[in-house]
Structure 1
Amino acid sequence: MQCNNCSVTAIKFEIKLEGKTNLSALQTVIDHLERRGIEISSRGDKLQMDEVGAREFLDFCSDLLDVSQVVFRINQEAWQPLDRMAQVFETEWIDDVIANERLTCHYQPIVDTDENIFAYEMLARFQNEDGSMIYPNEIFPAAKTRGRLYALDRVCRMTAVKYSAALKGEKAFINFIPTSIYSPEFCLSSTISLSKKLGVDPKLLVFEVVETEKVDDLDHLKKILTYYRERGFDYALDDVGEGYSTIEMLADMKPKYMKLDMKFVQDVATDLEKQRVAKKFLRKALEIGSIPLAEGIETRQDFEWLKQSGYQLFQGYYFGKPAALPLYEQHVKA
Structure 2
Amino acid sequence: MDEFQFHFQPKVDVQNNRVIGYEILLRNKEQNPHYPAAKMEKIIHSKKEHSHFLNWFQEELVRLVQLFPTVQFSINFAPRQLFYPETTDFFTTMQPYAKQLAIEITEDAPLFAASTENVDSLTIDQQLQSIFASIKAKGYCIALDDVGSGKNSLDEVLKYTPYLDQIKFSIVKCTKKDIKEETLHLFLGAWQRFSEDYHLDFIVEGIEDQATSEGLKEQGIVLQQGYHFGKPSKCIKKCR
Per the TM superposition, whether the score is higher than 0.5 is yes
Deviations 1:40-98 (A, max 9, x none): xxxxxxxxxxxxxxxxxxxxxxxxxxxxxxxxxxxxxxxxxxxxxxxxxxxxxxxxx3x
Look up the match of 2:184: 274
Q: Distance in 2 between matches of 1:156 and 1:309?
A: 41
Q: Output the CA distance in 1 between the equivalents of 2:100 and 2:195.
A: 21
**CA deviation after TM superposition for structure 1 residue 107, in Å:** 1.4
Find the aligned partners of 1:125 and 1:149 in 2 and give their Cα distance. Answer: 17
- Which stretch shows the higher mean deviation, 137-146 or 113-122? 137-146
Distance 1:156 1:299, change over 3 A: farther
**Mapped contact 2:6–2:27 kept (Cα < 8 A):** yes
Map of 2:118 onto structure 1: none
Moved more, 174-183 or 155-164: 155-164
Equivalenced residue count is: 222
For residues 274 and 149 of structure 1, the distance between their equivalents in structure 2, rounded to whole angstroms, comes to 41
Equivalent in 192, 207, 210 of residue 300 of structure 1:
210
Q: Which has more radius of gyration?
A: 1
Distance 1:203 1:266, change over 3 A: farther
Deviation at 1:273, TM superposition (A): 2.5
1:270 Cα deviation (Å)? 6.2
Residue 80 (structure 1) aligns with: none
C-alpha spacing 1:305/1:107, structure 2 compared with 1 (3 Å): same
SS at match of 1:208: strand
Change (3 A) 1:307 1:142: same
Q: What CA deviation, in whole Å up to 9, does each residue of 1:134-157 have, x standing for no partner?
A: 742332234356666733762574
Contact residue 77 and residue 104 of structure 2 kept, 8 A: yes
Query: Alignment partner of 1:192: what SS?
Result: helix
Q: Is the 8 A contact 1:176 1:208 kept in 2?
A: yes
State yes or no: 1:176 paired with 2:77: yes
The alignment's C-alpha RMSD in Å is: 3.2
Contact 1:153 1:176 in 2 (8 A): no
| 2:199 match: secondary structure | coil
Kept after mapping to 2: 8 A contact 1:266/1:297: no
Q: 1:149 to 1:256 in 2, by over 3 A?
A: farther
70, 76, 87: which one aligns with 1:187: 87
> Residue 223 of structure 1: which of 124, 130, 142 is its match?
130
Runs (5+) with no aligned partner, structure 1: 1-96, 330-334
Match in the other structure for 2:197: 287
| Post-superposition offset of 1:296 | 0.9
Give the TM-score taking structure 2 as reference length. Answer: 0.77
**Distance in 2, Cα, partners of 1:298 & 1:134:** 18
SS of structure 1 residue aligned to 2:218 = helix
Q: CA 1:269–1:315 in 2, change beyond 3 Å: closer, same or farther? A: farther
Match for 1:143 among 20, 43, 49? 43
Tell me, in whole angstroms, the C-alpha distance in 1 between the residues paired with 2:160 and 2:217. Answer: 23
Say which of 104, 119, 123 aligns to 1:208. 104
CA distance in 2, matches of 1:308, 1:106: 30
Residue in 2 that maps onto 1:309:
219
Q: How far, CA to CA, are the matches of 1:148 and 1:211 in structure 2? A: 23
Higher relative contact order (CA 8 A, sep 6+): 2
AA aligned opposite 1:140: M
